[in-house]
Amino acid sequence: MKKKTTAFFCQECGYESAKWVGQCPACKAWNSMVEEPVKITPAGSSLSAAAYSGGLSAGLSDAGAGGGGRTLQPVPLSEVGDVSEKRMATGFAELDRVLGGGIVAGSMILVGGDPGIGKSTLLLQAARNLAEAGHSVLYVSGEESLHQIKLRAQRIGSIRDDLKFLCETDLDAIAQTLLAFKPEIVIIDSIQTMYNSSVQAAPGSVSQVRETTGILMRLAKETGITFFIIGHVTKEGTVAGPRVLEHMVDTVLYFEGDRYASYRILRGVKNRFGSTNEIGIFEMRQEGLAEVPNPSEYMLAGRPVGASGSVVTCSMEGTRPVLTEVQALVTKTAYGFAKRQAIGTDYNRVSLLMAVLEKRLNMPLSEYDAYVNLAGGIRQTEPALDLGIALAILSSYRNRPIDDTIIAFGEIGLSGEIRAVSMAEQRVQEAAKMGFKTCILPKSCLKNIKSVGGMQLIGVSGMKEVLDVL
Ligand code: TYD
Ligand code: MG
């Protein structure tokens, strides 16, 4: 029987199936299966990901079959020599923090994001900073010509000659070049344009993207070159998204933000060398990306004064407290059933909070439409926002503004109780730094907080108490 040479791959998560299916069994995406040739590894090809991963499985099968009679020797960690992890600073404190304190040499970092969000700009600027710090950096672009890169470079300022560029999509040629020149850091822009001739599928397809990443991964581990790989996120279509690669690389960062707002958030999703709950905030300017060292100030800029339905709350982004303004608009519904909308936060959470307010405070909110928005276009879903959202809804419902020196945070339970949240002290300190005078917070958090200069702390344990305080 002739061996099957094609299979169906999910373009979202890379799941492989012998038959076409309407919904991917792994990631549940609809209509994401595309037929692609199965990879045929040419014998003796040194540049193959299969050969690389084969190292591991070969060891296993040897022992299992008892072939060569080779036994492996497990070792305790104490016998493993210490390696001092070398970190390189990218010149962006925000990027370094998301990476866990700089770039680890020999690691592979995937930077994903929507097209046009600023991935090339971010990495070009980081590459420039790294070159300025004396590292040898190579920027490989498969998307833009050298002239286009030069135009972009002119916007972000001077670029030293230590930073070299290459416009190429043929991975074999790139790999040979890397082996010959051995740069410290290589940027691949983007993985979806790279092409390796041992795979029959088109550039951007799941098998092609996987194979090229595997080859680059092997190069990284063998030569100590650090790779930044850019990958476009795709909703659907024929281009494989970065999700396919998440499990292969060391670090996954997503660059996100509203294309129409100028700020951008860099979020760590996976990190073998640090924590993943850090974010970096940038602003897209005329002359490239600039760091936003004080996100609270940025998020609160332009806050309305004395308007009802506006409350400032505090959410943690990793170890950083960020103050955000919650806005709510509550209006009598014109239809039989009330409409709810949440922008920048969880819709179900907003519905739940409205139900709690209705039941526990006897407010006829089911006759009212409610629109809740986190100003500034940021997206946060931490339960600590609950109290801020509830107060904004209350304020708009009663059409009475809440004093703009008040900040509130805390989780609300189904019986209307206010529950403790983590890192209360950091939140209060951030609020004090931004000039807030009063903080409404869960009563059970009070004991963890030393007095913060000039800040009045009001501990509450239920929604009824909150009404009294107001
Ligand atoms: P780009 O880095 O090309 O996005 P990606 O690589 O993620 O596709 O950035 C694209 C957008 O950024 C583009 O719409 C123009 C804007 N931009 C600026 O506003 N200022 C700048 O200095 C640069 C270089 C780009
Ligand atoms: Mg780009």
Instruction: For 434-451, write each residue's pLDDT tens digit.
Output: 899 999 999 999 988 887
Contact 156, 107 (CB under 8 A): no
In this prediction the pTM is 0.77
Q: Tell how far the Cα of 117 is from the centroid of ligand 1, in angstroms.
A: 6
Q: Which CATH architecture has domain 297-469?
A: 2-Layer Sandwich (3.30)
Q: How far apart are CA 288 and CA 298, in angstroms?
A: 18
Q: Which pLDDT score, from 0 to 100, does residue 216 have?
A: 93
Q: Which pLDDT score, from 0 to 100, does residue 52 have?
A: 45
Distance (Å) of CA 440 to CA 294, 314, 372, 451, 468: 23, 11, 20, 14, 12
| 86-293 and 297-469 share one fold | no
Best residue among 121, 193, 260, 286 to mutate for probing ligand 1, ranked by most atoms within 8 Å of CB: 121
- Sequence spans of domains, the chain: 1-38, 86-293, 297-469
Percent of the chain with pLDDT over 70: 90
Q: Tell how far the Cα of 114 is from the centroid of ligand 2, in angstroms.
A: 10
Q: Which pLDDT score, from 0 to 100, does residue 37 have?
A: 81
Task: Name the closest ligand to CA 114.
Answer: 1
More confident residue, 290 or 236: 290
Query: Which of 197-201, 210-214, 389-393 is predicted with the least confidence, judged by mean pLDDT?
Result: 197-201
Instruction: For 415-432, write each residue's pLDDT tens digit.
Output: 999 999 999 999 999 999
Per-chain residues with Cβ under 5 A from ion ligand 2: 120
User: Residue 57: is its pLDDT beyond 60?
Assistant: no
Give the sign of the dihedral formed by CA 105, CA 111, CA 116, CA 118. negative
Best residue among 152, 228, 284, 286 to mutate for probing ligand 1, ranked by most atoms within 8 Å of CB: 284
Q: Give the burial class of 17: count Cβ atoms within 10 A of its Cβ; 0-12 exposed, 13-18 middle, 19 or more buried.
A: middle
Q: Which pLDDT score, from 0 to 100, does residue 54 have?
A: 43
Instruction: For 116-172, write each residue's pLDDT tens digit.
Output: 889 999 999 999 999 999 999 999 999 999 999 999 999 888 888 889 999 999 999
Q: Which of 48-62, 66-80, 242-256, 408-422 has the highest mean pLDDT?
A: 408-422
Q: Domain 86-293 class?
A: alpha beta
Instruction: For 337-375, write each residue's pLDDT tens digit.
Output: 889 999 989 999 999 999 999 999 999 999 999 999 998
Q: Which pLDDT score, from 0 to 100, does residue 250 have?
A: 92
